[in-house]
Structures are given as structure tokens and as C-alpha cells.
Amino acid sequence: MAFALPEDDDDITILGIMASMEIAAANEFSDFLNNQFTAAGKLDWFEEIRHYRKSLGAPFNYNAANDLRFVLNEAAQHDSQIWHLIPNMNQMWVNAADNLRKKLNQLHHQQLRPDLNTLFQMSTLFQQVTEGPGLEVASWARAVKSRVQSILAGTYKAPQVPTAEPEKPKAVKKVEQEYKTAKKEFEKRPPWGARWAGLKPSRELSLDRRTRDIYDSNGVSVKHELGQLAEQVTAMWLRYFPLGGEVWVDEDGATMAYIKGMPTMVGWFGPAPDEDKDNVRGFVLPRDYEFTGTDIVDLESRSILSKNSGEPIKEHLALLSKKLPEGAKLNITDYGDLFIPVDDGEPKRITRMHKGIWFPGQLPG
């Protein structure tokens, strides 16, 4: 995969490019630092850094110097032993390194959807952290960005005769296999508003938008089966299926409807199975946000959530103000799970959003 470029939007190829850029950048940084420390007579520099961090009680989850997350984390520390060795280091580099480290953690937890938008975001971050130090990966990242822009604009045409693909490193194959497993789980029950996967469920019901009621095939209301969730479920179904009509409910409560001829996940007949859990589900949108203390800002467009939400958002923002510090960086998945990105391990869901209270067009549906 060395210096491969995408030909189209194939997810496995995109995933392989991201994983390969990580490996290449890690090896370049490691070789550079190893040469620098060796010249200074410090052959065990990595172990010295490990011992120093642990002596401070700081977490140190890296096993080798060629873990890119180690380099990005260590170089940004105020007492870094490698900062002065890497050329052209500044605060912009630190910010990009922090962002890339969190994205790599998401990549390793199968939370990044490998599409062209994600690849553009990742290649931008790779360029920002490798260009200053003069690594070869920077040229690759620039080429990837340019190719992605051409594909998205429809100006790139893939060659008629495909070139032979080089053997992929084991680490890349591992990431790809883990993604395939995660993708199957994702497709089993997709986010609200996303394309339904699998067979049409057997239980047919009818949603009437005028009466806001749900009927069985005999015209008998079944809304009472939902108890206190009845209005909440009806509102969610109508949010994704505004005209109403036939819906089909699976054994676990997952509900499908045809929207413009496409089978679509419109919600659940009852509570979602993991409603009360704090695990983050789905793939992370390739956008970053910040909590101002009273509102949420899309850092790419600088849009303010309260000024763009299609439904009242005041109560949701009030809840977030009790949970989040001012300036907290945020991400959201296509399931609407809002969370603070972390350097290592699994993040925790703060709350769940839906398309009615989020920035228009960013969540499915």
C-alpha cells in the first residue's frame, strides 16, 4: 500500500490507505528519532521515556517507538524529551498532533467510516504533522488530498488497466478485517434514517400522521403497547417518515419503512436496546465541534447549533452545560451519539442527538 492513491470510493482501499499512512509516518518518525538519540549516545531512549512517564504516574500504553500515537503524544508534552529534536515544531503542530492522535484512536476502534470525506480529513492531519519535520509521508498526504478532491468533483477517471497492488502489511490487514466485522454489526441495525439492511420484517403496521396513531392490519390501534413511550416513538417515526404509511417491525423492535422507494430504518417499536448505555455506536462523522459553554459550534463551518437546529434545542444545551466544560471538543456518530474524543480507549456517550436537533444534513435521513 506504500504511497497508494484512491481510484474511487471503495471503503477497504480507503481504510488501507489511512492505516498505511499511519505505519509509514510512525516508521519515519521512529527512524529519525532513533538516529538523533543514537548520535547523542542514548540507545535506550524509548525505555527512558517510558520510565520517566510512569514515574510521574502518567499512563503509558505504548509498546514501541514506532507507534505514531506515542510520538504525537510525547512531542506535545511540556517536558518532552523529543520536542527539540523535531524540526519546525509549534503550537499549530501540537493542535494537529492532538487531533490526529484522537482520530487514530477512533480508527483503531473501528469508529471511522472509511469514505472519501474521512480520507480527506485524515490526509490533511497527516500532512500537518509530517510536513514541518520534512517526512516523505507529507508528499503522499498532499497527493491523497488532491486525488480525493478530484474524485469528489468528478474530474478523475481511473485507468482502464488497474495497477498491481503491493502486498499489504499485516497491521493493515488486521485493521481491514476488524472493520469488516464492525461493518456487519453496523449493517445489522443501522442508524435512524439510514438504509435498512436485510429482509423486510414480518409485522406490518400503519402510521397515520393525522391522528398520530399506529394501527395493525385490522385497523386496530396498537399505540397502547408502547405505554409511556408512545408519543416519543410516534414523533421519531414521523421525523424520518413524515408522510406516514406502512411500517414493518422486526422481532427486536427495529422498524422499517419505504422512503422514496428505499427501505429505511425509522426507529424502534419501543426503546432502543442500548438506550440507557453510554457506549458510542456507529461511525464518527468527519467533522469536529466545540462546546462554548452555552452552545455547540461546527469548527469547519463556524455554524452555531442553536441557530441551525430545526427543532427547539434549549433544553438539550442546558443539559450539556451541566456535563461539559467550556471549550470541550466534541464528535458525533451517524447514530447521533455525542462524545468527547479520547486519546486511548473507548469514549463514553454524553447524549444522543437526532437530525431534528442537529446541524441540517449531517445525520442520516
Cβ partners under 8 Å of residue 140, min gap 6: 3, 21, 24, 126
What local confidence, expressed as pLDDT, does residue 2 receive?
60
| Structural contact between residues 186 and 282, judged by C-beta atoms closer than 8 angstroms | yes
Residue 99 banded pLDDT, cuts 50, 70, 90: very high
Q: Which percentage of the chain shows pLDDT scores above 90?
A: 78
Report the pLDDT averaged over residues 219-248: 95
Residue 59 banded pLDDT, cuts 50, 70, 90: confident
Cβ partners under 8 Å of residue 233, min gap 6: 226, 267, 268, 269, 270
Which residue is listed with cell 438504509? Answer: 195
Average pLDDT, the chain: 92
What local confidence, expressed as pLDDT, does residue 163 receive?
65
| Structural contact between residues 132 and 301, judged by C-beta atoms closer than 8 angstroms | no
Cell of 289: 465541534
Q: What is the pTM of this model?
A: 0.85
Report the pLDDT averaged over residues 308-314: 94
> Which has more pLDDT, 272 or 14?
14
Residue 78 banded pLDDT, cuts 50, 70, 90: confident
Report the pLDDT averaged over residues 94-113: 93
Outline where DSSP puts E strands in the chain.
Answer: 203-208, 213-215, 245-249, 254-259, 262-268, 289-291, 296-298, 329-332, 337-339, 349-352
* Separation between Cα atoms, residue 138 and residue 134, nearest integer Å: 7
181-194 tens-digit pLDDT: 878 877 778 899 99
What local confidence, expressed as pLDDT, does residue 276 receive?
72
127-155 tens-digit pLDDT: 999 998 899 999 999 999 999 999 999 99
- Nearest to residue 114, comparing CAs of 182, 189, 67? 182
Q: Which percentage of the chain shows pLDDT scores above 70?
A: 98
Least confident of 4-13, 183-192, 219-228, 336-345: 183-192
* Separation between Cα atoms, residue 197 and residue 188, nearest integer Å: 6
